[in-house]
């Protein structure tokens, strides 16, 4: 029987075998698992056992990968130590030295840097182009291109990707697709069900949801995720059992949090759109009248003193990350996109006046009042 999203989060199909009938999966905070004899040990290597060493697998880390995959509608998932670790595992499962990637030019700054610098040092080339123009994407494809990589909602300017269009190009050229679904979450968007091969999350953000964990999850095609898991194991980018357990605990309230936070975000975006000292509000207004994404990005007028604006936010904290239940702000040019070349940032419109707002679950009127007061005090 088909379950609704809120039910899927809490209830999996298969029953987990446990010695004791614990309602919640215990924390298997162990570095290794024991065996009764050498035949039992050999059985693991022959495929008859589940766990050997927590770097190679653990019930908590497996539960996290499976839970997010279930919500994405994907057959497999693997958890990693961070969002970037999950992205790296997905990329390395597809490309190798001498291969080429076509990536959106408005990616999260950490992803951009990893592709432009770190992977380039290992002989993996990336072309960054605007995914708003399918002709540009197709023109960037080479004989050695293996992967198209983009975000369902871009960071920080909240461009909603034409996922069907990206999939169409990939199928035409025989390429693998990787979509970062961190901002949208499976609550708003399920790229795998739209034909995407791999879907990645910085589970540090909305999947965990409480600003107390660092983890990542890659989901998608079973054969590619199996290859990605070998990268996680052999490169040592596994997530710890306790971090995985915390992330799964946070995941259970994803629907409640995203509903409240996205609704608040839309209300905030609508209110700030009326403020004459805010030049531009970035928000996907046309996607859902109830709110689509819990992020709002604004471009302040040059009449607003940016330093004073941040100082005037009172209980709203400045943070380099996002997606907790409390409203926070960040300055992309100084944090998430600090590593972008200046000309790239300017071309994208990421200037010193741009402020990224992660909207929380507080009352919408209080959030709106705080930002309006901060603008007024900063003129």
Q: Based on the domain organization, do 268 and 142 belong to the same domain?
A: no
Q: Which of 169-173, 278-282, 337-341 is predicted least confidently?
A: 337-341
111-122 tens-digit pLDDT: 999 999 999 999
Q: Using the predicted structure, report yes or no on whether residue 356 has a pLDDT greater than 90.
A: yes
Can you tell me the distance from the alpha carbon of 146 to that of 91, in angstroms, rounded to the nearest whole number?
A: 10
Domain ends where: 196, 218, 251? 251
Residues 6+ positions from 12 with CB-CB distance below 8 Å: 66, 67, 70
299-336 tens-digit pLDDT: 999 999 999 999 999 999 999 999 999 999 999 999 98
Q: Using the predicted structure, report yes or no on whether residue 12 has a pLDDT greater than 80.
A: no
128-177 tens-digit pLDDT: 999 999 999 999 999 999 999 999 999 999 999 999 999 999 999 999 99
Q: Based on the domain organization, do 187 and 291 belong to the same domain?
A: no
Q: Based on the domain organization, do 162 and 24 belong to the same domain?
A: yes
209-233 tens-digit pLDDT: 999 999 999 999 999 999 999 999 9
Nearest-CA neighbor of 235 among 83, 32, 92?
A: 92
Domain ends where: 221, 251, 281? 251
Q: How many domains does the chain have?
A: 2
Which H or E run includes 329? strand 328-330
Q: Based on the domain organization, do 14 and 146 belong to the same domain?
A: yes
Q: 277, 297 in Cβ contact below 8 A?
A: no
Residues spanned by the domain of 316: 254-377
Backbone angles phi, psi at 54, to 5 degrees: -65, -15
Q: How confident is the model at residue 10, as a pLDDT?
A: 84
Q: Based on the domain organization, do 84 and 187 belong to the same domain?
A: yes
Can you tell me the distance from the alpha carbon of 143 to that of 292, in angstroms, rounded to the nearest whole number?
A: 37
Q: Based on the domain organization, do 311 and 178 belong to the same domain?
A: no
Average the pLDDT over 98-120 and give the result: 97
Q: Using the predicted structure, report yes or no on whether residue 15 has a pLDDT greater than 80.
A: no
Backbone angles phi, psi at 65, to 5 degrees: -60, -45
Q: Based on the domain organization, do 300 and 206 belong to the same domain?
A: no
Q: How confident is the model at residue 22, as a pLDDT?
A: 84
Q: How many CA atoms lie within 13 A of 187 on its CB side?
A: 28
Here the tokens at position 237 are 């980018």
Here the tokens at position 14 are 């298969």
Domain ends where: 235, 251, 267? 251
Residues of the chain with pLDDT > 70, as a percent, come to: 97
Residues of the chain with pLDDT > 90, as a percent, come to: 89
Can you tell me the distance from the alpha carbon of 29 to that of 17, in angstroms, rounded to the nearest whole number?
A: 18
Q: Based on the domain organization, do 44 and 177 belong to the same domain?
A: yes
Measured at the CA of 129, the angle between CA 285 and CA 73, to 5 degrees, comes to 55
243 or 16, which is more confident: 243
């Amino acid at each position: 029987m088909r379950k609704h999203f809120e039910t899927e989060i809490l209830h999996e199909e298969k029953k987990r075998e446990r010695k004791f009938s614990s309602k919640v999966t215990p924390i298997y905070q162990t570095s290794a698992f024991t065996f009764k004899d050498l035949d039992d040990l050999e059985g693991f290597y022959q495929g008859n056992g589940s766990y050997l060493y927590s770097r190679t697998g653990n019930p908590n880390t497996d539960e996290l990968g499976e839970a997010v995959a279930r919500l994405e509608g994907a057959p497999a998932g693997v958890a990693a130590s961070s969002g970037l670790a999950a992205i790296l595992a997905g990329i390395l499962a597809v490309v190798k030295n001498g291969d080429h990637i076509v990536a959106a030019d408005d990616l999260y700054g950490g992803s951009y840097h990893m592709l432009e610098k770190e992977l380039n040092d290992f002989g993996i080339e990336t072309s960054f182009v605007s995914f708003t123009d399918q002709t540009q994407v197709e023109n960037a494809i080479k004989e050695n291109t293996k992967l198209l990589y983009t975000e369902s909602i871009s960071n920080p300017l909240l461009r909603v990707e034409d996922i069907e269009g990206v999939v169409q190009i990939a199928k035409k050229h025989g390429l693998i697709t990787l979509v970062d679904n961190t901002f949208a979450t499976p609550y708003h968007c399920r790229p795998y069900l739209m034909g995407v091969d791999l879907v990645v999350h910085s589970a540090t953000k909305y999947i965990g949801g409480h600003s107390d964990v660092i983890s990542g999850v890659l989901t998608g095609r079973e054969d590619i995720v199996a290859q990605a898991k070998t990268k996680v194991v052999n490169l040592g980018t596994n997530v710890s059992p306790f971090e995985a357990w915390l992330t799964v605990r946070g995941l259970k309230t994803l629907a409640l949090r995203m509903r409240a936070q996205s609704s608040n975000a839309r209300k905030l975006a609508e209110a700030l759109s009326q403020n004459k000292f805010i030049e531009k509000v970035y928000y996907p207004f046309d996607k859902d009248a109830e709110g689509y994404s819990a992020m709002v990005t604004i471009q302040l007028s040059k009449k607003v003193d940016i330093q004073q604006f941040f100082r005037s936010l009172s209980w709203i904290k400045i943070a380099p990350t996002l997606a907790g239940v409390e409203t926070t702000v960040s300055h992309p040019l100084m944090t998430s996109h600090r590593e972008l070349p200046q000309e790239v940032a300017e071309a994208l419109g990421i200037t010193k006046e741009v402020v990224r707002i992660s909207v929380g679950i507080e009352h919408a009127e209080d959030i709106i009042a705080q930002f309006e007061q901060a603008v007024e005090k900063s003129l």
